Amino acid sequence: MQKYRLNNGVEIPVIGFGTWETPNDASGVEAIKYAITQAGYTHIDTAAAYRNEESVGKAIRASGIPRDKVFVTSKLWNTKRGYDNVFRAFERTLQNLQMDYLDLYLIHWPAIQTQFPDSWKKINYDTWRAMEQLYKAGKIRAIGVSNFMPHHLEPLLDRCDVVPAINQIEVHPGYQQVEAVAYCKQKGILVEAWSPLGRGDALANPTIKAIAEKLKKTPAQICLRWVLDKGLLPLVKSVTPARILQNVDVFDFQLTAEDTAAIDALTDCGGMCLHPDKVDF
């Protein structure tokens, strides 16, 4: 698997295996283990909120892959924001995973102005300070954020010591987030794309289907190639063996400029299209 180099020099495999809604049971373990052993994924993305960190840890151990050959991400949930809480939440995540360090730890969602009118900036900064401390102590190889728009990042970048290495946001052909992506690129922050298939909805889009037929690839592979061509890192989720295999088989073809332009012109083709200022969790 090819790798991107983060702004702190750490390398990260260019496709990650997403685990949102992957069950925290034997079937979840089996899917993740299959992804590692049969399809060659070496980058697994989970979160405390997914409640499947135990299964992620079990699957990695069961796969036989050495710990340092797999890139593991988890995320701090919204109820654990604030300096002191971060340390406890992080320890819990390590316990769940049965690991002694993380490759990447993200703030899952920013504190927002509508919920915390006077303190949202301070909450985000205090949370970040704790992440920085864990990073400097060598317990996390890279730290970042998720679902941050430029106006959430701006105040953090004004004060932070360590610039986030990653911003993980929803990106797919139906929700391209062009401004947020451009902003992160300019700041040296790698964008990870969650739901790169628009939760599967984008796969029924006639433009994407036509390009897939022409290139003898699947609509999912077209979406993933499009995300990679933008210099982003797709986190693709599946519990279905054939799809798990298919979703990393995206390095032997290219989209033409016309294909890319046609996908760039799409607007509404599914996904959750969540805006962090409009969520209520």
Contact between 247 and ligand A2P (CB under 6 A)? yes
Give the nearest distance from C-beta 18 to ligand A2P in angstroms. Answer: 5
Contact between 237 and ligand A2P (CB under 6 A)? yes
Give the nearest distance from C-beta 170 to ligand A2P in angstroms. Answer: 9
Given the complex with ligand A2P, which of 44 and 203 has the nearer CB atom? 203
Of 35, 99, 143, 203, the one binding ligand A2P (CB under 6 A) is: 203
Give the nearest distance from C-beta 235 to ligand A2P in angstroms. Answer: 7
Q: Which residues pair with 4 in a beta bridge?
A: 12
Q: Which residues pair with 168 in a beta bridge?
A: 146, 192
DSSP symbols for 31-55? HHHHHHHTT---EEE--GGGT-HHH
Contact between 239 and ligand A2P (CB under 6 A)? yes
Q: Which residues pair with 73 in a beta bridge?
A: 45, 104
Give the 3-state secondary structure of residue 27. helix
Six token digits for residue 59: 């699957």
Interacting positions 10-39 with ligand A2P (CB under 6 A)? 18
Beta carbons of 273 and 202 less than 8 angstroms apart: no
Select from 202, 273, 267 the least CA-distant residue to 225. Answer: 202
Contact between 200 and ligand A2P (CB under 6 A)? yes
Beta carbons of 175 and 198 less than 8 angstroms apart: yes
Contact between 177 and ligand A2P (CB under 6 A)? no
Binding positions for ligand A2P, rule: CB under 6 A: 18, 195-200, 203, 218, 220, 236-240, 243, 246-247
